[in-house]
């Protein structure tokens, strides 16, 4: 059958994103998914769990590379064949615990993957989102230095986005014992919320908002922790999630996300920070117009500096500028 609705997403090959995809395709016959992901056994497992794997199209993407993201945008446009997108879900994320890692473009890795790649996707895919559609960024309560978080992850201190993009300067002045990697992760979640507020303000055709999944034990976000932390995260804490304050099960979070993609009143959520299914104000900083503008201008500048122009883009530009083509 020809499906009538399209979800484009990152972060759908494992964790609560994968659970949401499985439920979407089993409970809603009229949806198909275009999934941006790196090649991995997780993709085979996901397709094996779906009754009709043809309803998932995988675009191999390295979110750390602006060249890869740029090429993926072109691939998505080809897959769409002119069909508008009903929902874009920007859900992928990494949490680097130790060391200073840089992306292929020379940017701090957490900033590059969690924020900049998704900002580029949102900016590029916005024209393809249908009127009344939705654009969803995954954020977190850790964006807010005053919010409770069960696992006590280090919070970010505000830095200009160009500083956050620099692996040697990003979250450099932390108190002793505070992990810079955690602070960088928290900063990226603030940037995601600020990006959502920006797109909500400038794009009237569709609704943009941010999702807080809260603490969801059992995902792979703790894969860089020590073995004891990994075992507790994967096997002990999921059993305790229903009774732990501030924790949610994979199943509940996948259900919340599915609701946001398919059923929630998107217009009522425009520009909102949605904690599960409840609208919360988010941090004061996340609503600071001057800081949001700094995030937007810096992100666009970094993309312009590091994003390569693809051959098909050059060809299209030459054709548009050639008067012989225009009169043909």
Which positions ≥6 away from 141 have C-beta within 8 Å? 147, 148, 149, 212, 214, 246, 275
Superfamily the domain 5-327 falls into: NAD(P)-binding Rossmann-like Domain (3.40.50.720)
Q: What is the pLDDT of residue 322?
A: 42
DSSP 167: T
How far CA 216 is from CA of 149, 180, 193, in Å, comes to 11, 21, 19
pLDDT tens string, the chain, 328 residues long: the values are 456 899 999 999 988 999 999 999 999 999 999 999 998 888 988 988 898 999 999 999 999 999 999 999 999 999 999 999 999 999 999 988 777 899 999 999 999 999 999 999 999 999 999 999 999 999 999 999 888 776 667 888 899 999 999 999 999 876 665 678 889 999 999 999 999 999 999 999 999 999 999 876 656 655 565 566 556 556 566 666 676 667 788 899 999 999 999 999 999 999 999 999 999 999 999 999 999 999 999 999 999 998 876 554 444 433 443 433 333 3
Boundaries of every domain in the chain: 5-327
Q: Residue 259 pairs with which residues in a beta bridge?
A: none
Q: What is the pLDDT of residue 325?
A: 37
The pTM (predicted TM-score) of the whole model is 0.88
Q: What is the pLDDT of residue 298?
A: 97
**Among candidates 177, 130, 186, 181, which has minimal Cα distance to 157?**
186
- In sequence order, what DSSP letters do the residues of 233-251 get, joined into one string? IIIIHHHHGGGSTTB--HH
Which positions ≥6 away from 121 have C-beta within 8 Å? 10, 36, 69, 73, 88, 90
């Amino acid at each position: 059958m020809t499906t009538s609705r399209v979800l484009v997403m990152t972060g759908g090959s494992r964790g609560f994103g994968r659970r949401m995809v499985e439920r979407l395709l089993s409970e809603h016959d009229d949806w198909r998914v275009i999934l941006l992901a790196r090649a991995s056994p997780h993709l085979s497992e996901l397709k094996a769990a779906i009754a009709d794997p043809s309803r998932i199209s995988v675009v191999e993407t390295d979110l750390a590379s602006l060249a890869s993201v740029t090429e993926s945008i072109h691939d998505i446009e080809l897959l769409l064949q002119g069909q508008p997108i009903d929902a874009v879900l920007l859900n992928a994320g990494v949490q680097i615990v130790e060391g200073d890692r840089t992306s292929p473009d020379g940017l701090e890795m957490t900033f590059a993957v969690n924020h900049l790649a998704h900002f580029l996707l949102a900016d590029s895919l916005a024209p393809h989102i249908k009127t009344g559609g939705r654009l969803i960024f995954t954020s977190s309560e850790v964006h807010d230095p005053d919010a409770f978080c069960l696992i006590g992850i280090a919070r970010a201190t505000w830095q200009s986005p160009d500083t956050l993009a620099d692996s040697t300067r990003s979250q450099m002045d932390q108190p002793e014992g505070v992990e810079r990697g955690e602070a960088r992760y928290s900063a990226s979640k603030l940037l995601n919320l600020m990006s959502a507020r920006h797109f909500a303000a400038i794009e009237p055709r569709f609704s943009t908002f941010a999702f807080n999944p809260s603490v969801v034990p059992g995902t792979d976000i703790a894969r860089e922790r020590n073995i004891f932390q990994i075992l507790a995260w994967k096997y002990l804490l999921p059993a305790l999630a229903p009774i732990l304050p501030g924790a949610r099960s994979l199943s509940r979070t996948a259900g919340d996300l599915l609701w946001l993609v398919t059923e929630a009143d998107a217009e009522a959520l425009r520009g909102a920070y949605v904690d599960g299914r409840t609208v919360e104000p988010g941090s004061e900083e996340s609503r600071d117009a001057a800081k949001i503008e700094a995030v937007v201008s810096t992100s666009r500048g970094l993309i312009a500096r590091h994003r390569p122009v693809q051959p098909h883009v050059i060809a299209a530009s030459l054709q548009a500028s050639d008067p012989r083509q225009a009169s043909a």
